[in-house]
Amino acid sequence: MIEGHFIVLEGIDGAGTTTQSSILADRLADRGLPAHTTREPSDGPIGVLIRQILTGRVVVPGSHGAHAPGWATMAALFTADRLDHLESEIVPNLLDGVSVICDRYDHSSVAYQTVSSNGHDGVSDWVLELNRHARRPDLTLILDVDPEVAASRRGMRSGGPELYEVSEMQVELAKFYAKIDELFPADTIVHIDANEGVDHVAKAVWAEVMKLRGESI
């Protein structure tokens, strides 16, 4: 059986990765092509813990009071979740011929942990090494969006802001994603302008996926 394609959507919070993952899966299904959507943090045990940290439900003690775990701990947690995610969900689907569309992957770990480390040296290289055994995607689509646009979108969500949804950090993350290709030279990475409307972005995403499959739109 031919393996499915492993497709990743990336971007800052509010870039539209979740929306576009869903649209892409529906379009593949309309063509009779099996597709499975997933996300990171995953819905596995480590991923659930990470989501509780991101929403402030899990904290650790410190000399200045309770706070979220530091960037290095978060990097290790994200990596453990990713490897479990691959073993339990992503790879089995790919081997069954199902294309997997993942909302975020290790590109996010490198971006978010590097930016949140407050200038520590060698963070990107260290996170890359942690993820050395993570399977590479067949295609990574970076949804580039202006931080102001993303902030407006986040403001329409229910619930409060999560750990990394701080405007200053999102600005730095947008800059980081703009040059992230340099850290993943062996990956197939395509940047898409996600400032446009949902349909416009979906069309651009679809064009790249069809190119990956060697098919016409």
Find tokens 């969900």 and name the residue.
89
Q: Let me know if residue 46 belongs to a domain.
A: yes
Q: Is residue 187 part of a domain?
A: yes
pTM for this predicted structure? 0.94
Residue 115: give the domain boundaries: 6-213
**How far from chain centre, in Å, is Cα 121?**
23
pLDDT in tens, 177-203: 999 999 999 999 999 999 999 999 999
Domain annotation covers residue 182: yes
Q: Token pair of 157, please?
A: 């969500």
Evaluate whether residue 151 is within a structural domain: yes
- Residue 205: pLDDT band with limits 50, 70, 90: very high
Inter-residue contact 67 to 119 (CB < 8 Å) = no
Q: Is residue 107 part of a domain?
A: yes
Residue 3 has pLDDT above 80, yes or no: yes
Type of residue at 202: A
| Inside any domain, residue 1 | no
* Number of domains forming the structure of the chain: 1
Residue 128 lies in a domain: yes
pLDDT tens digits, one per residue of 122-177: 999 999 999 999 999 999 999 999 999 999 999 887 677 888 888 899 999 999 99
pLDDT, mean of residues 66-88: 96
Q: Domain holding 148: CATH number?
A: 3.40.50.300
52 lies in a domain? Answer: yes
**Most distant pair of Cα atoms in the chain: their distance:** 59
* Amino acid at the residue 150: A
pLDDT per residue as tens digits for the range 56-73? 999 999 888 898 999 999
In angstroms and rounded to an integer, the radius of gyration of the C-alpha atoms of the chain is 17
Quick: pLDDT tens for 95-120. Answer: 999 999 999 999 999 999 999 998 89
At residue 154's C-alpha, the angle toward residues 123 and 199, to 5°, is: 105
